[in-house]
Structures are given as structure tokens and as C-alpha cells.
Structure 1
Amino acid sequence: MVSDLATLQREDRRLVILRTLAEDTDYSLNTSILQTVLTSYGHGVGRDVVDGDVQWLAEGGLVTVDQLAGGRVTVATLTGHGLDVSQGVARHPGVRRPRPGA
């Protein structure tokens, strides 16, 4: 049961990240802002977890990652495929599919 809950939380965090990036005008946000947004959605996690999710999304081609300020700031940018997944048009294992009309 605990692993099922952990899986659900992880998949939902990743969807929240994608949907948050989709709402931004240039589809890009740093991990500090993403951490704040995740907290407001009930995912109070550390920066290491956010960084790990962003790296995982990058490995899947859903976001790109840039390191700024000598590597102190990580910026995630949504890809076209990531936008499709955030809208439920495409599916990606490890990311929760959004509910219809959500």
C-alpha cells in the first residue's frame, strides 16, 4: 500500500510540474518556483525531490533543463511532447493522466 501511495504521489507531482510549466508564458520555470507550486498542491517535498522529478521528465523528453548561475539555478522548459502529456493528449508512463475537463 505504501509503495502504491508513493507511486501515485510521484506521478501526480510530475503532472503538476508539466501543467504548471504549460501555464507559464514561456513554458519555463526554475525549480524553486516549482517547489512552491507543488507545496500549494499538497506535495510538500524537498528541492532534491523536485530536481529528481525534473531530471526524470527531461530523460523522458517532456522537458529540457538548463543550469544557470554557475549551476545554482535549474530551469525546466516544457517540450511539445510534455505539453501533450500535460493536456492528456498523449500518455507517458510515470506521469498521471489528467482527468477530463481538468
Structure 2
Amino acid sequence: MNLALLMSEDRRLLILRLLAQDPGYQLNVYVLRPALQAMGHTVSHDLVETDLAWLAEQGLVTVGRASDVTVGKLTARGADVAQGLATVPGVKRPEPGE
């Protein structure tokens, strides 16, 4: 199995789950990056923005800007994927009990 692919899929799932935890279902890259690092993904600012753009292409988040900061907002489809109710190739499916 390709480690880089596994890491990307896991990181994308974590982004969706982090967005689902926020009361407004949105977080900026300056919050997402350290949250991902706390979960074992040491990533660049650029990579978080790239993941958000990829998730937006899949219809799982919307991406906007606030004061020149990228903000991701969870969509209903993204919430379904975060909960394991729907699957999208390129996003890890949650393990049972997660």
C-alpha cells in the first residue's frame, strides 16, 4: 500500500471531522494545521490549503477567504462522509466506533 496515499486519505477525513466539531462547521487553515499536527500529521500551510481545495472539488467543503485567510466550511455531503454514511475515493472511511 502507498503510504503517501494512506496519509492523504486519513488527513482529509480528519479535516472533515474537525470541521464537523466546530459549531459553525468552519475553520481556517491556522486552526486546521495545528489540529492536524496534534493528530500526527505534520503538514505545511500549503498542503492544508491543497486538501481543502481537493475536498471542495468533491463537494465535501466550500472554501472561502476571510481577511486573506482560507476558511473551509463543511457541506452536508462532507458531514455524511465524516460520519461514514457516505464514501468518497480519496477520503479514508472511519473505522467502526471512531
Interval of TM-score (by shorter of Structure 1 and Structure 2): over 0.9
Deviation string, structure 1 residues 39-86 (Cα, Å, up to 9, x no partner)? 0010000000000000000010000011121xx201100000000000
Secondary structure at the residue paired with 2:63?
Answer: strand
CA-atom RMSD in angstroms: 0.7
Sequence identity of aligned pairs in percent?
A: 54
Runs in 1 of length 4+ with deviation above 2 angstroms?
Answer: none
Gap runs ≥5 in structure 2: none
CA distance in 2, matches of 1:22, 1:7: 23
Q: Which residue of 2 aligns with 1:6?
A: 4
User: Once the 2 structures are TM-superposed, how far is the Cα of residue 37 of structure 1 from its aligned partner?
Assistant: 0.6
Structure 2 length-normalised TM: 0.98
CA distance in 1, matches of 2:34, 2:56: 20
CA distance in 2, matches of 1:76, 1:45: 17
CA distance in 1, matches of 2:30, 2:4: 22
> Quick one: which amino acid aligns to residue 55 of structure 2?
L
The within-5 A match list for 1:1-102 is 4-69=2-67, 72-102=68-98
CA distance in 2, matches of 1:87, 1:58: 17
Gap runs ≥5 in structure 1: none
Structure 1 length-normalised TM: 0.94
- How many residue pairs were aligned? 98
